[in-house]
Amino acid sequence: MRLTTKEILSKSNLNRNDIIQLLTIKDQKELEVLFNAANMLREEYCGNEIHIRSVIEFSNYCEENCSYCELREDNFAVSRFRLDADEIIDIAKKISNMGFRTIYLQSGEDSYYDTDMIAYIIYSIKQNSDMRVILDIGQRSLDEYRAWKIAGADDYFLQFHTSNSALYSLYHKKKNLFDKINHLKYLNRLGYKVGTGSIIGIPHQTIEDIADDLLLCLELNIDMAAFTPFIPHPFTPFQNKPKVEIALVYKTIAVARILLKQVSIAACNALDELEFNGREGALKIGANIIVPNFAKDINKKILLQPAKIKEMLENTETITSRIELMGLKISTAKGNSLSLKPVLD
């Protein structure tokens, strides 16, 4: 007998079939039940505060050739850039002076930035500010993860993209899912606050795959989840594939909140490409993090000048106003995870 959405949500633990049923809801009233439940859990576990994580995208070089990604090595249409270590540190210092508490260092998989350079960047940011440092620089060596933790890194975001090993091998020619999962487990053991997630609506994916993605997030005991909507990019093998419908992404975020409870969940910037104010839509159904790239324009070697700082502050005020209109507020805290993890000796 098929359960109602309310009956499924009354369970203390959801099974795979429950998750699949929630992800396939089409009735608007049933969707409202799901979304309201997810939003209530966000408020219960995260409060009414939304956390901003300010991104410095410091390199768009990438040595991988993922089928869906515009930064893939074979995409010669991309205008590549790199910031040097001192530029990154200078930008981080200025962002800290603007009142931001978390810095999100993001790049493609670019080995130009070796172990010592990344460690120097982390250590310098920590010496110059009280900011939380999150790394999102791809799959690196186990020794590097350890060195960067010692240097002061707080979080590591490493998306697994899909829990389906066959699809993972299709999308990534050089790597396998087993290694990615082992890296995520090792990051956990080192004491990082770990973020991961999948791409929703990617070609050949099924609803069952998305359910398994959510269950893998639960199994990995993560601190942050991000479910990125698939949007086709020019000059990639998937450039002619259809983009995902935002309703499926919203349902994934809502079910993630119900399943993962206190885990922080991002309202990805790409949601705004699918729907006007898509990020705000995600905040209404369980997400509690936004990651605006305030440093987007300066990534082309233009350091923060007074005019740029003014523009960034205005952008922040706009985002803050939109969130406050929803009855929420921007957190002034670092947004640390609610979980406590042992650190590997």
Comparing C-alpha atoms, which of 115, 139, 125 is closest to residue 88? 125
The 10s digit of each residue's pLDDT in 239-280 is: 999 999 999 999 999 999 999 999 999 999 999 999 998 999
Q: Please report the beta strands in the chain, taking only residues with DSSP state E, as ranges in sequence order.
A: 49-52, 54-59, 102-107, 132-136, 155-157, 193-200, 224-229, 264-267, 289-290, 329-330
- Residue 291: pLDDT band with limits 50, 70, 90: confident
Q: What are phi and psi of 256, to 5 degrees?
A: -60, -45
- Residue 217: pLDDT band with limits 50, 70, 90: very high
The 10s digit of each residue's pLDDT in 20-75 is: 999 999 999 999 999 999 999 999 999 988 888 888 999 999 999 999 999 999 99
pTM passes above 0.85: yes
Residues ≥6 apart with Cβ < 8 Å to 41: 257, 258, 261, 286
Please state, in angstroms and rounded to a whole number, the distance separating the CA atoms of residues 29 and 11. 19
323 or 61, greater pLDDT: 61
- Residue 294: pLDDT band with limits 50, 70, 90: low
The amino acid that residue 237 corresponds to is P
Average pLDDT of the chain to the nearest whole number: 89
**H-helix or E-strand spanning residue 299:** none
For residues 171-190, give the mean pLDDT: 94
Comparing C-alpha atoms, which of 208, 252, 204, 263 is closest to residue 228? 252
Q: What secondary structure, in 3-state letters, does 228-260 show?
A: EECCCCCCCCCCCCCCCCHHHHHHHHHHHHHHH
CA 267 to chain centre: 8
Q: Are strands 224-229 and 102-107 parallel, antiparallel or unpaired?
A: unpaired
The 10s digit of each residue's pLDDT in 60-119 is: 999 999 999 999 999 999 999 999 999 999 999 988 888 888 999 999 999 999 999 999
